Structure 1
Amino acid sequence: MNLIAIQSIYRFEMARFFRTLTQSVISPVISTALYFVVFGAAIGSRMENVEGVPYGAFIVPGLIMLTVMTQATTNASFGIYFPKFIGTIYELLSAPVNFLEITIGYVGAAATKALIIGMIILATSFLFVDITIAHPLAMLAFLFLTALSFALLGFIIGIWAGNFEQLQLIPLLVITPLVFLGGSFYSTSMLPPVWQTITLFNPVHYLISGFRWSFFGTADVPVGISLIAIAVFTGACMTAIWWIFRTGWRIRQ
């Protein structure tokens, strides 16, 4: 394992993150704060508790998941796409590093960025609502696994994308709608039976449900199933990345 190569890629990506703090941190935090104002204060004050939890607190896990998923995907996809765009990826491929070391460097940096933003948003939520975390270690574990899995997905998107428009296509048109429809702002028990069944086919639903359980001790699906869903998703992404580097798809073509 070439630790120097991993460290170099990781440091380079993190340096880019800190050079653009306004875009990387302040923008998503302000956007999330607006969600708290609109949904938590304006709408939440007119709603009853959801599963015994005040609505303003109930949406906190969903908002954190929304930001972590989109940020992990976006950072990882741009991180690997930009070397493709300017042609420096060939220098990386010709260096004495394997696909695993390249993946760890880029994905590790993207996951770290998403975790930082997620923790900042969690701290921000305490300014708006009174919230207690029932299982803090489980919360950190779900946060880490979600950031890691979606950074892997973003890495694949960055390799697949042929232009900057395609780079934003999946996060905007797929991930964000799945988060909204996955129970980020409501419990699926509030839906009609047909829609409850349809929601079970949304993979993001299992992540949000498990993460919400770590806060309030209640979940729409068993926590074990949520962990299995994350493991299967992460394994599928790792397999896809291995195949991409083995065949050179969208990298050497």
Structure 2
Amino acid sequence: GLNSPFTTYDTVYSRLTRIGITPHPAIVPTKDIIDLHNKGLTPSTIAKMLGLTRGAVYMRLVSEGITPHRTYPLAPVVPTEDIIDLHNEGLTPGEIAARLNMGYVAVYMRLQRAGMTPNVSPLWVKAKERKPKIVKLHREGLNQKQIAERLGLTPRQVGLSLREEGEIPRPSAKESMHTLQAMDEIIRLSKEGVPRYEIAKHIDSTWPLVAAALKKASGEPIWPACEELTTWAETLLPLLDEI
């Protein structure tokens, strides 16, 4: 419905026109936009205040020869030497990124361009060394969290190790139960056309579990365009039946 957090401007506009209603125009003088711009406000902030879209505000300012304010100020450029110094101290790209307020990829690429091999976290080395044990525990029926706790790793490292070996990570019973309890909400949002990854985010679940829940509820195809993800989600169906 219109109270859904996923309803967009285009959805409202098209629904009104489909039933023969002409939407009211939102007439906002360009002068009002410029006045707010001159107070240092960004297009996003102006748009919220005046009930416009960010794009509309941005284009109005540009058409008047005005450069809109940036939402985020440009970050200062960090010298590559600073990154290399931290790398030589043994820090990983993630640790360097946190220390210098940069992105992981930016640090990684700078090191590679400097001819250096980024340091790997000891936990990742540990995960690689324990991959056979991870797979063994997975085949014994343990989920990612249980394996991670058993081996002193993170669930994400366990999941990546399993996928590298062609295994499908198993959700916990708690995650499965939480998804099933939200079944009515999942079905409602799906009928409204909300993408499954958005539904998963909304109910604090995962895409494969949402897809498996919908498959369980209606038998509809999960995602014919992506065989790998469809197989993954279908593999979760028996696990949902066990709950």
Q: Which bracket does the TM-score occupy, shorter chain normalised?
A: under 0.3
Larger radius of gyration: 2
Q: Relative contact order: is structure 1 or structure 2 higher (C-alpha 8 Å, sep ≥ 6)? A: 1
Q: TM-score, length-normalised on structure 1?
A: 0.22
